[in-house]
Each structure stands twice: as C-alpha cells, then as structure tokens.
A and B are shown apart, each in its own frame.
Chain A
Amino acid sequence: MTSIPEILETMAYGPAPESTAAAREWLARGPFGLFIGGSFTAPGALFDVRDPARDEVLAQVTQGSEGDVDAAVQAARTAQPAWEADPALRARILYALARQVQKGERLFAVLESLDNGKPIRETRDIDIPLVARHVYHHAGWATLLADEFPNARAHGVCGQIIPWNFPLLMLAWKVAPALAAGNTVVLKPAEDTPLTALLFAEICVEAGVPPGVVNIVTGDGATGAAIVAHKGVDKIAFTGSTEVGQIIRRATAGSGKPLTLELGGKSPFIVLGDADLDAAVEGVVDAVWFNQGEVCCAGTRILVAESVAATFRKRLISRMETLRVGDPLDKSTDIGAIVSPAQLARIRDLVAQGVAAGAVAYEGSAPEGCFCPPILLDQVSPANPCASEEIFGPVVTLQTFRSPPEAIELANATRYGLAASIWSENLTVAMDLAAQIKAGVVWINATNMFDATAPFGGMRASGFGREGAREGMGAYLRKDDAAKGAAPGTIDPLPATGTPDGLDRTHKLYIGGAQKRADGGASWSVLSGDTRLGHAPLGNRKDIRNAVEAAHKASGWTKMSGHQRAQVMYFLAETLDHHRDGLAAFVPMAEIDASIARTMYYAAWSDKLSGAVHNTQSAHVTLAMREAFGVMGVICPEEKPLLGALSLILPAIAMGNRVVVVPSQANPLAALELGPMLGASDVPGGVVNIVSGPVTELAKTLAAHDDVAAMACAQPAVAQMVEHESAGNLKPVWHAPEGQGRDWLEAMVQVKTIWVPYGA
C-alpha cells in the first residue's frame, strides 16, 4: 500500500471502488427466466450476459421464443382492461415504482454499471435519478389523464424494444408513459444489457403491479421481431439503430400499429466565435465523452468557427488528457468500458477508415481490454465516413466553418436529425441557428440534458414520435386516425365515350404556381356516369419529382408568420366562394360550401397552434416549438374530391408546410380547378402542387422520395405500400380520416425542443 508521504509527492487520486457485494448477491439468483404474467418463468434456452470491463459472465438469461412472446402478449392482453379502467390504481402503482427505484438506487446503479460498462458516477448521478424522475412524472399523468386527455383511450398492448446504452432509463421512458396511459407492456431489453430490466421486474412485484401489466422478455433480435410481428400487439415503440428502425417500419407497414421510433444520430456541436470556449470544451466532454459516446444524441460533429478553431482545438486536446478511462466501478472514472468487444471493434474500424480518409487523430489513453480512449478526429472533410456514419463511441470529429449560415448548412448536411448543441454568448444568433437546424432537440450552451417534461425525439432518419411530456403521452393514447374509403380504380388513357358538358375545359397539373402539361403528354377521361366531366392530365414520376423540387423552392411560405398565412388562406376562402358556380360542375354545392367553411376554419387556426414552454429545471427555458416538416406528400381520398383534398392541404399549409398533392383518381378535376384559384389568392407558387394520375404509382414515388419529409395519406388501399416505402428516409405517415380539428394540425408539425439555460 502506498504510504501517505508517497501520496503527498504525487497527489494521485487513488482507487475509489464501489462495492459490488449486493449486486453479486442478486446475480446469484440467476439463471433468469422471463417475467410474464407477474412471475418469472423457469429459465429456458440461456445466453450469457457479460461484464465488458472485466470480461466475465455476470449471469445467464433466457432467449425468449415466439411462444414466450405470445404468452407475454396474452398476459398483457388479459390484464389490460382492468388496468385501463383504474387510473387511480395506476397513479398509486407508478408512484410506488418511483419510490422503489429510489430505495434501491445503489443496487440499480451498480448492476447497470456492471452490465453496460458505464461509470458508476453516471449511473448513480444521471441514469437512476432520471429513471425515478420519469416514473414520478408519469404517475402524475395517470392522475391527470381524464382531465387533460378527455375521451382518450389506451392502445392496449404495447410492444417495446430498447437499446443497450441506457438500459434502465430507456425502459423507464417506454414503460412509464405506456402504463400511465392505461396500456400494458411487453418489453424486450437489449441482449447485451438485460439485467436491470429483470431487477425492475422484481420491483414491479414489490410495488404491486398487477400480473400481466408489465412483461419482460429477454432475447436477441429474433425475440424483438416476434414482438413486432405479433398480431396481438397494438403499438410498437423502438429505440435503437436506424437500420433496425427501418426494418420495423417495413414489417409493421399496413398493420395499423402506431409506431414511434427513436433512432440514430450524428448531431452537430456548433461553437460560434463568441462562445465561452471553456464552457464549450466542457460541453464536448458532456456530449461525446459521456456514456463512452454511446449516446444516440451525442454531439459527435464539432463545427467550430475558424476564428477560434486553433484555441478551441488546443484546449480540447489538453482537456482530453485529464479524462480518466478505466474501471467503471471506480468513482473517479470518467469513461468506462465499451459495451462489448464487437462494438469496440466497430469503433476502431470506423476510426481507421476516418484516418485513412485523411483525418488526423488525437487519442487519450485507455487501459487494455474493452476500453476506448477519447478520440478527436481533426481535419475531417464532409466526405470522410466519420463525418456521416454514427460511430457510437467516444469519438468526435472537428470541422471549421466561416459564418453562421455555413454552420447551418454543415449541420444539416446529414440524413439524421436528432439533436444539436449550439454555443454562443449571443442569444440572437444562437436562436437563429436553433430555428434552422433540423433536429428534434437543440441545446443552447448545454448538451445532453434530459427531463421527463422535455419532449425527446428526432427528425429525418432519427425517427419520429416524442418521448416525455404531454407530447410523449400522446404517443401512448389511441387516436381514431385510420383512414377509411374506397380504393382507386383503373385509368384508361385511351379516348373514351361520354358526352361533353358544354365547352371543353382544359385541366393541367399545377406545379410551382403554374399550370403544366403532364410530362407523359397523356390524359384520361373523367366520367360521372355517362357524362364526361373533362380530361385529367396523366402525371408520372417526373411530374412528382418536379413538384417536389418546386415545393422545396417555396421555402418562404414556411418562414412566414401564422398571421401572414392566415391572410392568404382567408383570401383563398374568398376565391372559392367566388368560383362556387364553376366548381359546381365537378362536385355538389354542399361539398363546395363545406370546403369554403373548412378553409375559413384552418385560416383561423394558422396563427393559433402554439408550442409550449416546459417546466424542466430551474433557470432553464425549455421550449417545445411546433415546426412544419417542410415538404409533405398528400394522398387525397377518392371520396369528396374537393373537400377531401382541402381537408389535408389546408392544415398542412396552415402550419407552414409545402405540399405535393395527389388528388382523387376518380375525380381529380375539382382539385385541379384549385390550382389557378390558389394563384389568384396569393398562395405563393410551389406551396401547393397538384399532380393527378394513377394514385398508387404517384403515392409510391412520393413515399419513396428522400426529400419528402412526411406523408398524409387518406387512401387506405395504398397505406401499406406508403408505409413500406416511407422507411427509406423514415418519414412519418399520417393516416388521415375525414374531418377537421386540432389533431389534423398536430399531424402536420413536428416538435423541436430547445433548451436555454440562463444565469447572469
């Protein structure tokens, strides 16, 4: 043992190990079965769960089979009605769970550190307190549900699949809102890190959770696939990789199961020239050297102003030297073990690729074993694979920029959109960046802040849906949003019979504010019984492509204020009213009147769907902004060709979106009539683009288009295909029913949470 005089020479910290005695005692209860219907099954086919830091087996757990998943779903199904019927019980149970987590916090913290390799300081100070916070918050929602979400119903049985980076915290994020809303759950923890979920199952028993309300099925991807595929599961929530998210999107397409996906990221970390550079350096530590960088929202791309890049780089490299990498159970460890040797190999491989592509690597030090030092990759060009691939390790890249607009351009040059961190002492500039960066969460002069009442979730390929706060509760409540209606028929582009009604009227596509002939140079006869209403232009893929491009150019609409958009939409109502008689050739007068009323309705709304300021932490403003998606695809119903189209177009554009509209195939003419009226009402060109033609083909092109951010689809016949194709860029698909209201507006926006800590 080192003597005190010797220590006085070095002033080393010395070891500060956390005891694992209680955790080892608990692990001795293994091998573990599955938690189904309120008790553990006998262990089945087993797999090893390893401690990555010590490379030893911690426990053996059961590989859940399809039959096990089925049993768990049945148990959840049986328990669900009584659970949903008693909100007071739900509040009491969730409160008890929150307390049980706090009472057993040390065991949870140690077990999580053993299983995942993350430092005990983080499980103790961050993970477990956030778990308790989340469960408390949702105990409150159980109490307030009837007041705050009147008439809302639970989905039923929720299938939940969570990752290995924050095992218990992700469990809490999934289970707490589901239970509060009256759902029962079947949850699969990650195969690398199932242990705290099993401990959680035990405290469910202690807290009096009724049998079947919470079911924990351990296993690998096959077990997860069985949950996703199970017909008895009413909703799927997944956190994990974008690749698996895409598989789940395709697998559930057309099933009617609502889906929330919280996926990967490559989040920018922007340091402006006037930032407090020391604060920003420490921000990098919290961004990417937190949890070994195994954080979906980690700020892994440093974008630093050229004017301060040299100083920032120097301070960052010197800060790397004081990070301590090693035993996760030592209380002075900053960076613990990587979750598995496979993950470490992946990190090392990507870093090697980055260096081969020209990056200059600065590495801190790390012990032998499943550890990775902090790594800074400097001089990373946008074309370097490390600039675009999610590494999921303690690796950060550094690029410079010349001006705030260039920072925004670089920040948004990614397929992801989960988070962003912005450092500046000038709030005017920082908010400008926050508004323009495509990310579900933006931290200003901070990073990796979480709270149960701050919505968390991504844009683009980072997924959709939000967790936390009112927004997160909404994802666990059923909405009657299943589109109903007829399927499109067939189109015959050859000359047809049918009597013309008066002088021939020409209908064209409406793209970029102008009437355009269809690219294919064809049209088809639109008949109403024996009467030919007219010829509709036969749009194709290229027309969709052109329409999407036109919609992108109309970005000024999104920047306009709600009041400015309201004026235009009121003007549109006026124009419609002026053309009632002309429209009457295509649709009944009652539908025209309803269309005018609906236009007035959404004109009224366009400056009224406000965001929220959430009550997170003291001395923080946490904004939940509602932002337009940008360019949306709109598939109109076959029925009510005018009102049906406007019912989707209007809420979309009221919220600032630009739309590419595929009108009713049976009668597209009324919608095509809208084109010139939009222009006459000062709707800027490109805001609404209308492409008639074969709905299935056009919808498929839109759904597969990587530069379309979201879809609203009112044609159930194409729903499965649209959902399947949407997996490419993970655009959310809303199945719009007939009607109007706040739900329609909320389907047209995504939440951006902006954290602004303050203090003089």
Chain B
Amino acid sequence: MDHPHNPATQLNTDAFHAINRPAAERRAASLVARRSIKGAHQAAWLLNAIACMDLTTLAGDDTEDRVRRLCAKARRPLADHIVAGLGLTEMPHTGAVCVYPTMVSAAVKALDSSGIPVASVATGFPAGLMPLDLRLAEIRYAVDQGASEIDIVITRAHVLGGNWSALYDEIAAMKDACGPAHLKAILATGDLVTLSNVHAASMVAMQAGADFIKTSTGKEGVNATLPVGLTMCRAIRDHGAATGNIVGFKPAGGMKTAKDALNWQILMREELGRDWLRPGLFRLGASSMLADIERQLEHHVTGRYAASHRHALA
C-alpha cells in the first residue's frame, strides 16, 4: 500500500454523535438510485473495483493450493480477450489478496513480483476473544510471514460496554505490533448493531491509528450494508476534518455482484470524493464478486451475456 500511515491521535469521545438510522437508510437508498453508470463508464468503474478488491479466502478448509489458485486469479482477474476488448494495454490485478496468517507465506510466494500485497487477518479473527498478548503475537507472526496489511478485529465488548479507553489502547497496541504493515480495523458492525456505536468505534479506531476502517469479518449475521458504510465514511470525513489525517475504508462481506461494486463506489465518490476510489484508500473485501464483474465486462465487450464456467475460477 503506497498510502502513508495514519498517525495516532488522542482518544476523544467528544467526536461521537448520535446517528439517525432512518435518515441514514434513506440516504443510502437514494444515493445509489440517484446515480446511474452505463456503457464504457460502467466498464471502467467495474475495472476500478477490481483494482480496489481484496480478493479473499477466509475459510476453515483453506489450503495452500487453494490460496495459490486465488493468487493466480488476483494476477489475472480477467480473460485476455476481455482485457483486449476493453482497450487496456496490460492485465489489471486486484488490490490485494486477503488470507489467514498461516496462508500468508504461500500467498506471498504466489504473488511474487506481481506488486500485489498480501493482507492477513489477525488478532483471533473473527471473534477476537483471545488474550491480548496472543493477538499481538499473531500480528507479528503475519507481518513476519510477509503480510503488508493486517486486518485486525476489535473487542466488540469494549464498544457494547462503552469502554472506549480499553478499545483505544488495544488498537494502539495492535498498530504498534504491525510495524511497517498497514492496519485495517474490522469493527464487526453487525455485532455493534447501532449506527451510533459504529460511528463511535470508527472514531476510536482512527484515533488509535487505524489506517483503514473495515465493516465486517464476513462472519457476522449482518455484513457490509450501505447505511453502515455511509456512517463510517462520514466518520472518516469527521476525523480528517478534526486532525487532517486521512483514513481508508473497506466494506467486506456479503457483496457478491457487480451492482454492489458500483453502489459502494458511488457511496465513496459521493461522500468522500475521487481519492477514495483508489486502492490506497478504498478496498472491497470480496470473493465471488469478481466472477460477476468478469461476466459483466465480457458482456460489455461481446454484447452477449456471459457464463462464469467459461472464466477462470478464483
């Protein structure tokens, strides 16, 4: 990741404020209905989504071979004729590959010289209910294996209990353990339930030095939703206005379609601006979304509706 780190600032709970859920839901619904992206523009936006994608596998049955297959798709996300048909001079690639710590080594080897970073989840993903020293050790292990981005999970209990200094200290310690790696703080917003909690947790994570804030592990009952994304984007804007520091955003979990990719990018463009459509500040945590994007792009090139079984599997 080429973006500079977000330096920690002091814990400041004055930055919290209540979020009105019905209003956030209305804005999220109208935001994507207000913008329509067609033709070549749609193709470009879908390509941009690939460039911002953390292509992910986080399953109990992950194997090194499975990870290598994913990395191959990250390097060549589209069939050659699609790339040519879109007028691109070189094969695009995804923003990163995201795996469990024990898979980092295999991923790093598979992505050698591709320029694609490896992101690792850590800190007792997905629940995070492990002793802090073990969680910090896990971060150091993943960094040591070659991960340049660490997706940590927060202790939801600190948010639900309003224990903000404990949350701040925990994330600050994790950031320290990351060393040169960027830290993405997964808030597990489905567990936090209220948008006011989401906003408060976002502010504390950014104050503690998170380089990205991320919605979900993909394992909660509710994953990335647009009202949650809207709330987190506004928190990023608020933090920037208060400190001058810039933080990235990563929705993750439940996003499967090319339409989702467009909607989330519209949210970024409208609420945070053009800069948040670059991989340095925006990632889509997804697995199956890429297949749908590839189908849509092939349709754009050929005019025929496409079939996934004719594309390379991730």
Chain A residues within 8 Å of B, Cβ to Cβ: 1-5, 7-8, 10-16, 121, 125, 274, 276-279, 282-283, 286, 322, 330-332, 334, 425, 445-446, 619-620, 757-760
Given A4-B40, A279-B19, 10 new contacts (CB under 8 A): A3-B40, A5-B89, A8-B48, A10-B274, A11-B48, A13-B35, A278-B27, A425-B20, A445-B20, A757-B23
Chain B residues within 8 Å of A, Cβ to Cβ: 17-27, 30, 33-45, 47-48, 86-89, 193-194, 234, 265, 269-270, 274, 277
A7-B44, A760-B193 known; A14 vs B38 contact (CB < 8 Å): yes
User: A619 and B22: CB pair below 8 A?
Assistant: yes
Q: Which residues of B contact A279 (CB under 8 A)?
A: 19-20, 23-24, 27
| A125-B22 Cα distance, complex, nearest whole Å | 18
User: B193 and A13: CB pair below 8 A?
Assistant: no
A14-B39, A322-B270 known; A4 vs B22 contact (CB < 8 Å): no
User: B18 and A276: CB pair below 8 A?
Assistant: yes
A4-B86, A13-B35 known; A760 vs B40 contact (CB < 8 Å): no
Q: Which residues of A contact B27 (CB under 8 A)?
A: 278-279, 282
User: B34 and A1: CB pair below 8 A?
Assistant: no
A5-B88, A322-B270 known; A16 vs B37 contact (CB < 8 Å): yes
> For B18, B19, B269, which residue has the most chain A Cβ atoms within 10 angstroms?
B18
Q: List 22 A-B contacts (CB under 8 A).
A: A3-B40, A4-B44, A4-B47, A5-B87, A5-B88, A5-B89, A7-B40, A7-B45, A8-B44, A8-B48, A11-B269, A13-B35, A14-B39, A16-B37, A277-B17, A278-B19, A278-B234, A279-B24, A279-B27, A286-B30, A334-B34, A425-B18
Q: Which residues of B contact A7 (CB under 8 A)?
A: 40-41, 44-45
Q: How far is the CB of B150 from chain A (nearest CB, A)?
A: 28
Partner of A276, one of B23, B41, B87, B194: B23
User: A11 and B34: CB pair below 8 A?
Assistant: no
Q: Which residues of B contact A278 (CB under 8 A)?
A: 19, 23, 27, 234
Q: Which residues of B contact A16 (CB under 8 A)?
A: 36-38
| A667-B25 Cα distance, complex, nearest whole Å | 64
A4-B86, A11-B269 known; A276 vs B277 contact (CB < 8 Å): no
Partner of A282, one of B23, B42, B44, B47: B23
Closest A-chain residue to B277, C-beta based? A11
| A14-B43 Cα distance, complex, nearest whole Å | 11
User: Nearest 9 pairs between A and B by C-beta?
Assistant: A14-B41, A279-B23, A331-B36, A7-B44, A757-B22, A759-B21, A16-B36, A276-B20, A425-B18
Closest B-chain residue to A8, C-beta based? B44
Q: Which residues of A contact B41 (CB under 8 A)?
A: 2, 7, 12-14
Q: Which residues of B contact A10 (CB under 8 A)?
A: 274
User: B26 and A282: CB pair below 8 A?
Assistant: yes
User: B277 and A332: CB pair below 8 A?
Assistant: no
Closest A-chain residue to B230, C-beta based? A278
Partner of B33, one of A13, A121, A619: A121
| A282-B45 Cα distance, complex, nearest whole Å | 25
> For B27, B48, B86, B265, which residue has the most chain A Cβ atoms within 10 angstroms?
B27
Q: Which residues of A contact B26 (CB under 8 A)?
A: 282, 286, 446
User: B277 and A758: CB pair below 8 A?
Assistant: no
Partner of A760, one of B21, B30, B265: B21
Partner of B274, one of A11, A445, A759: A11
Closest A-chain residue to B194, C-beta based? A760
Q: How far is the CB of A401 from chain B (nearest CB, A)?
A: 20
| A757-B29 Cα distance, complex, nearest whole Å | 15
Q: How far is the CB of B19 from chain A (nearest CB, A)?
A: 6
Q: Which residues of B contact A760 (CB under 8 A)?
A: 21, 193-194
Q: How far is the CB of A437 from chain B (nearest CB, A)?
A: 20
| A1-B41 Cα distance, complex, nearest whole Å | 11
A14-B37, A16-B38, A322-B270 known; A4 vs B20 contact (CB < 8 Å): no
Partner of A445, one of B23, B42, B44: B23
Main secondary structure of the interface of B (DSSP, over half): helix
> For B17, B36, B37, which residue has the most chain A Cβ atoms within 10 angstroms?
B36
> For B41, B89, B234, B270, which residue has the most chain A Cβ atoms within 10 angstroms?
B41
| A1-B234 Cα distance, complex, nearest whole Å | 35
Q: How far is the CB of A212 from chain B (nearest CB, A)?
A: 40
Q: How far is the CB of B105 from chain A (nearest CB, A)?
A: 33
Q: How far is the CB of A268 from chain B (nearest CB, A)?
A: 18
User: A11 and B44: CB pair below 8 A?
Assistant: yes
Closest B-chain residue to A282, C-beta based? B27
Q: Which residues of B contact A8 (CB under 8 A)?
A: 44, 47-48
Q: How far is the CB of B29 from chain A (nearest CB, A)?
A: 10
Closest B-chain residue to A311, C-beta based? B241
User: A2 and B40: CB pair below 8 A?
Assistant: yes
Q: Which residues of B contact A277 (CB under 8 A)?
A: 17
| A10-B275 Cα distance, complex, nearest whole Å | 10
Closest A-chain residue to B300, C-beta based? A4
| A118-B206 Cα distance, complex, nearest whole Å | 41
User: B34 and A332: CB pair below 8 A?
Assistant: yes
| A198-B18 Cα distance, complex, nearest whole Å | 48
Q: Which residues of A contact B39 (CB under 8 A)?
A: 14
Q: Which residues of A contact B30 (CB under 8 A)?
A: 286
User: B22 and A445: CB pair below 8 A?
Assistant: yes
| A121-B35 Cα distance, complex, nearest whole Å | 9
Partner of A4, one of B17, B25, B88, B274: B88
User: B36 and A332: CB pair below 8 A?
Assistant: yes
Q: Which residues of A contact B20 (CB under 8 A)?
A: 276, 279, 425, 445, 759
| A445-B19 Cα distance, complex, nearest whole Å | 11
User: A121 and B21: CB pair below 8 A?
Assistant: no
Q: Which residues of B contact A286 (CB under 8 A)?
A: 26, 30
Partner of A759, one of B25, B42, B43, B265: B25
Q: How far is the CB of A313 from chain B (nearest CB, A)?
A: 14
Partner of B45, one of A1, A11, A330, A759: A11
> For B21, B22, B48, B269, which residue has the most chain A Cβ atoms within 10 angstroms?
B22
| A322-B37 Cα distance, complex, nearest whole Å | 16
Q: How far is the CB of B222 from chain A (nearest CB, A)?
A: 13
| A125-B24 Cα distance, complex, nearest whole Å | 18
> For A11, A282, A620, A760, which residue has the most chain B Cβ atoms within 10 angstroms?
A11
Q: Which residues of B contact A759 (CB under 8 A)?
A: 20-22, 25
Q: Which residues of A contact B270 (CB under 8 A)?
A: 322
Q: How far is the CB of A8 from chain B (nearest CB, A)?
A: 5
Q: Which residues of A contact B35 (CB under 8 A)?
A: 13, 331-332
Q: How far is the CB of B259 from chain A (nearest CB, A)?
A: 14
| A176-B198 Cα distance, complex, nearest whole Å | 45
A7-B40, A276-B23, A283-B23 known; A125 vs B33 contact (CB < 8 Å): yes
Partner of A274, one of B18, B34, B88, B194: B18
Q: How far is the CB of B208 from chain A (nearest CB, A)?
A: 23
Q: Which residues of A contact B43 (CB under 8 A)?
A: 4
Closest A-chain residue to B24, C-beta based? A279
Closest B-chain residue to A334, C-beta based? B34
Partner of B37, one of A13, A276, A334: A13
| A570-B26 Cα distance, complex, nearest whole Å | 50
Q: How far is the CB of B296 from chain A (nearest CB, A)?
A: 13
| A344-B87 Cα distance, complex, nearest whole Å | 44
Q: Which residues of A contact B36 (CB under 8 A)?
A: 13, 16, 330-332
Q: How far is the CB of A466 from chain B (nearest CB, A)?
A: 24
User: B34 and A3: CB pair below 8 A?
Assistant: no
| A16-B39 Cα distance, complex, nearest whole Å | 9
| A5-B47 Cα distance, complex, nearest whole Å | 10
| A308-B21 Cα distance, complex, nearest whole Å | 20
| A742-B279 Cα distance, complex, nearest whole Å | 67
Q: How far is the CB of A625 from chain B (nearest CB, A)?
A: 21
